[in-house]
Amino acid sequence: MLRLRVVCPADQTEAALEVLRDHAGATHLVLLRGAAVDPQGDLITADVAREAVDEVVGALCELRIDRYGGITIETIDTSLSDAADRAQEDAPGDGSDAIVWDELIGKTGEESKPSVTFQAFLTISCVLAAVGIATNSTVTLVGAMVVGPEFGPLAAIAVGLVAKRWDLVRRAAAALAIGFPVAIVITSVLTWLGARFGLLDRETLLHGTESEFIYQFGVFSLVVALLAGAAGMLSMTSAKSAALVGVFISVTTVPAAGYAALAAVLGVWDRVGPAVAQLGINLIGIVIAAALVLLIRRRGAAEGVSTRPLSRG
């Protein structure tokens, strides 16, 4: 179950209540007249079965409540109620398979911002990857993969493409287009300093067997990227967040960026190109698979996709 918190203009309250009363998937309806201060209006709350949220929110948005009031979606961890059980049984579809598009767009939109925090995590993960490659340490490479934040913008691009939210696509693409070059440059500078102080050995890069998979790209590189993208999007749309860790570890994005920086500084130029190609293959593969998962799960219900612009900021 999800909870809808609706700040509604007074002149639209009865219409909003009718939407919620008439839907079998909505229950626990509460009205507080005049409770909203900014924007002014009434406050309505209702618990709605996950599979019914898109339809209910769509109907409320047709009343333009999202423009002159506000709609908030919250997760309910536990609900002990026969009424809630009946709502879930009567709502069409299966809650575990339902995609709440507004929730997904909001989540990926937040994670796709080219922020200082995103850049910091991406840079740290690239530096960790370079250290792992330089020391031939698989554990450090895995740590770099887990720290990397790049799946957020990749998922946002996929959601934006399917939902035709080009603002989301542009924002996420900018985060990646700025983030990876900056992270590679900073990693290169730190790698150069490490080489100057004798902390890095070119021979380790040339003969490190634990990192060969990073620059040796091929068909299986694309296969792994596609599988990871599919698993990642399934995780995001079904609230199975634990699976995302496996996605982070399975793809060669951050390690490829770190390898390209390290190889360039140490003069192993014949591996810079393959590492960059590995990065590109993984990024593209993840987006393609994630978008395909969304298209399949949408089942042709294009009218259920939100096309409202993201809030500013």
The residue-averaged pLDDT of 169-190 equals 94
Q: What is the pLDDT of residue 158?
A: 94
Distance CA(50)–CA(48), nearest Å, equals 6
What value does the mean pLDDT of the chain take? 85
19 Cβ neighbours under 8 A, 6+ residues apart:
56, 59, 60, 63
Residue where a domain terminates, one of 69, 98, 127 = 98
Residue 211 lies in a domain: yes
The residue-averaged pLDDT of 138-148 equals 88
Asked if 132 and 217 sit in the same domain, the reply is yes
Beta strand 2-8 with 40-48 is antiparallel
Q: What is the pLDDT of residue 302?
A: 42
Residue 11's domain spans which residues?
2-98
Asked if 213 and 72 sit in the same domain, the reply is no
Give pTM, 2 decimals.
0.80
Query: Rounded to 5 degrees, what angle do the CA atoms 14, 16, 19 make?
Result: 110
Q: Tokens 């990646």 — which residue?
A: 176
Residue 32 lies in a domain: yes
Distance CA(122)–CA(124), nearest Å, equals 6
Q: What is the pLDDT of residue 235?
A: 82
Q: What is the pLDDT of residue 239?
A: 56
Asked if 82 and 125 sit in the same domain, the reply is no
Residue where a domain terminates, one of 59, 81, 98 = 98
Condensed to tens digits (0 to 9), the pLDDT of residues 203-229 reads 777 776 666 778 887 888 899 899 988
3-state secondary structure of 198: coil
Residue 133 lies in a domain: yes
| Two structure tokens written together for 289 | 């698979």
Per the structure, the count of domains in the chain is 2
